[in-house]
Structure 1
Amino acid sequence: MVGRRKKEAFQNLKDRFKQRIDNWSTRHLSQGGKEVFIKAILQAILMYTMACFLLPKTLCADLESIIAKFRWQKGHGQRGIHWCTWNDLCIAKEQGGLGFRSLDQFNIALLAKQGLKSKIFSKFRFHPCVVSVWTVKGLLQDGLCWHIGKGDRISVWNDCWIPGVDINRSNDNANNTEIELVSDLIETTTRKWKNDLIQNTFPENTAQKILQIPLAEEEHEDFQVWRGEHSGEFTVRSAYKLLQEATMDPSALLIQTETKDFYRKL
């Protein structure tokens, strides 16, 4: 049972994690072997727990520190030089890193999957009854976008339904805020957008993007899709990538080529 004293509750997990590393610290592993061991075994040990609970940031930092020491240590457990930070190691391979997982971000991505599976919210409106799932509300709301059917479940000003548009910013320049639902913008008989109403309500750029959204000839219920995948299906991989992109330091991309060359020489 996890209560307020989370550090003590997860101590057993930390001990088992460290013991597994200690068992392998005396063995001679190449850098490639360590990479496989970290990704396939060490980080896999944590997956079940991270899929159920929000781990304290201090615990994630401690576990990452343990992994980093193992990654850089020399043979027989001798301490090695840390040539770069853990955050650098967590950069995606296509961007010059080694693709290790940032534990706190991966924790949130796993919880997001549980959040979508759970029935604790109705019509995708979140209910703060489970702290761990409530924490990922922001990620899911950023990654989910409405596919328009009837439009009677979609808030014009509060939901994501216009591709590539931050609706909150569009709201600042809107002329008719009395409109509440997307269904108010659709002609029910012809299943076409109310062109004049949209042009008079939204900025020109936003209005054009709305008018380009296709409407089905027959009415169907509104449903949400995941923007991180072409299929619209949620994946932990795409959720984690979304978190990485949101926290990526732009300066990290400036040294992309140098970083790749550096890792090739290791």
Structure 2
Amino acid sequence: MSDLCWKAERYSFADKIKVKLASWKGALLTIMGRVQLVRAIIHGMLIYSFQVYTWPKALLKQLDRWIRNFIWSGDVTTKKICTIARRNIYICKPYEEGGLNTRSLTQVNESLLLHLCWKFLSSNEQWAVMCHTRFLKWGQPSNAFFKSSNWHGIKKHVTVVKENPWWIIGTGNNVAFWLDNWLSVTLTEMFNIPASAYHLLTATVSEYIADGEWNIPECIMQKDPTFRSLIDKVIIPRQPLEDRLV
């Protein structure tokens, strides 16, 4: 599906949300009744699309505006002036902080795409392996342009997912020795290796394990004083276990 077609489909879907909100007799409901309708139905309508596609920020802000108007006034087109300062109460804050415990659609979309990116990088399922082959180059997002309706939403989160979670070593077959984070820091960062050399760093962690013990050349062990201490903390399982990204 082309970007233009998918963009038109998203705006069409947003119009359906507006029609759904307008069809409810919001003025006959309490404010908490309107909140429950939004959380149970409107968010439910959007959740599948949010898990796969990135939505335009302007459209998400418009949807949030319609939802906010519906919650406060019962009408998507009517903006009600609140008698409490915005800094003191906001619908997206939890109950404990004086809010209505709803969610910003922008934050929901971003968090679900972040989760999809995590699954993309950590899974060994067929879809993930296929996407790795197509979209990654030397373990990093390719700079090439792809006609994909969901890759652009995943790509912007790859760096965050790679830098924050880290790998728990099993067999080491799926973990890049130099490029992946399995010591709380990548070795490319620890040793200040330039990105231009990444294509040469194809080794996996399993290539530095022999008979259940580390088999790392001494020249690598001596490159940074903290490297040896970090390696000593990594336990190699006696049984062949899958590598896990956590």
- Name the TM-score class by shorter chain: 0.5 to 0.7
Cα 1:135–1:77 change in 2 (3 A) is: closer
The whole-number CA distance in structure 2 between the counterparts of 1:91 and 1:102 is 9
Secondary structure of the corresponding residue to residue 157 of structure 1: coil
Structure 1 residue aligned with 2:192 = 172
User: Using a 3 Å threshold, how does the CA distance of structure 1 residues 211 and 31 change in structure 2: closer, same or farther?
Assistant: farther
Q: 1:183 aligns with which of 197, 206, 212?
A: 206
Question: 1:131 & 1:216 partners in 2: Cα distance?
Answer: 40
Instruction: Give the gaps of 5 or more residues in structure 1.
Output: 228-266
Query: Could you list the per-position Cα deviations for residues 121-180 of structure 1 after superposition, in whole angstroms to 9, with x for gaps in the alignment?
Result: 4287362353413421353564453232332442233112124x3555323289xx9984
Q: How far is the alpha carbon of 1:14 from its aligned partner? A: 1.7
**Matched-pair contact (CA < 8 Å) for 2:179–2:188:** yes
The match for 1:40 is 40
TM-superposed deviation, 1:65? 1.2
> Do 1:25 and 1:70's aligned partners in 2 also have CA atoms closer than 8 Å?
no
1:93, 1:166 → 2: CA distance?
40
Residue 122 (structure 2) pairs with residue 102 (structure 1) = no
Give the TM-score normalised by the residue count of structure 1. Answer: 0.62
Q: Does the CA-based 8 Å contact 2:180-2:186 persist in structure 1?
A: no
Q: Cα RMSD over matched residues?
A: 4.0
1-structure distance, mates of 2:217, 2:232:
7
Identity %: 21
Total equivalences in the alignment: 219
What is residue 139 of structure 1 aligned with on the other side?
157
TM-score, structure 2 as length reference: 0.67
Alignment of 1:61 onto 2:28: no
The 3 A distance-change label for structure 1 pair 126 and 58 is farther
Equivalent-residue separation in structure 1 for 2:5 and 2:76 (angstroms): 35
Q: CA deviation at 1:67?
A: 1.0
Instruction: Determine whether 1:151 maps to 2:158.
Output: no
Quote the offset at 1:17 in angstroms.
0.7
Residues 42 and 75 of structure 1: CA distance in aligned 2, closer, same or farther (over 3 Å): closer
d(CA) in 1 for partners of 2:94 and 2:176? 36
